[in-house]
Amino acid sequence: MSAIYTAIATASGRDGRGVTSDGRLDVKLARPAELGGDGSGTNPEQLFAVGYAACFTSAMKLVGQRQGLDVDDASVTAEVGLKPNGSGGFKLDVTLRVELPNHLSPDKARELVEATHQVCPYSNATRGNIPVNLVIE
């Protein structure tokens, strides 16, 4: 099956630029100060966090529609942690903090978030590779 959409982006170095093929995203890249950089630009972990939060929010609206729920006011905050992997490299962990409309019961909210985690492409891509903690706030 062929892709229904393909995003194309090019990064030139860890302390360079990241640009999408359509030019809508053009960011200066820089290592965070915690990793020895000057922190003067965006880092890959921040880009991953924005991408995951946006993807999960979009997937949640789709799942909400399927379940007959109004979740237009929902928001997702992604926290992406970078940790040593014990072998000289690094690994990620993610916490997704989901804020839902007050009219959803705790059980319905949990059901929605768990179903979204099965639909979201980022969740499917990371499943089994990195820990993803789902928090309903």
Q: Where are the domains of the chain?
A: 1-42, 44-136
pLDDT at 14: 67
How many Cβ atoms from other residues are within 10 Å of residue 9's Cβ?
13
pLDDT for 5-33, tens place per residue? 999 999 997 679 999 999 999 999 999 99
- The interaxial angle of helices 106-119 and 44-66, nearest 10 deg, is 120
Domain with residues 1-42, CATH architecture: Single Sheet (2.20)
The mean per-residue pLDDT over the stretch 30-47 comes to 93
The mean per-residue pLDDT over the stretch 81-100 comes to 96
The pairing of strands 17-20 and 9-12 is: antiparallel
The mean per-residue pLDDT over the stretch 107-130 comes to 97
CA 124/CA 3 separation, integer angstroms: 16
Domain with residues 44-136, CATH architecture: 2-Layer Sandwich (3.30)
pLDDT at 117: 98
Q: What is the mean pLDDT of the chain?
A: 95
Strand residues in the chain grouped as ranges (E): 9-12, 17-20, 26-28, 75-84, 90-99, 132-136
Burial bucket for residue 112 (CB in 10 Å: 0-12, 13-18, 19+): buried
pLDDT at 6: 96
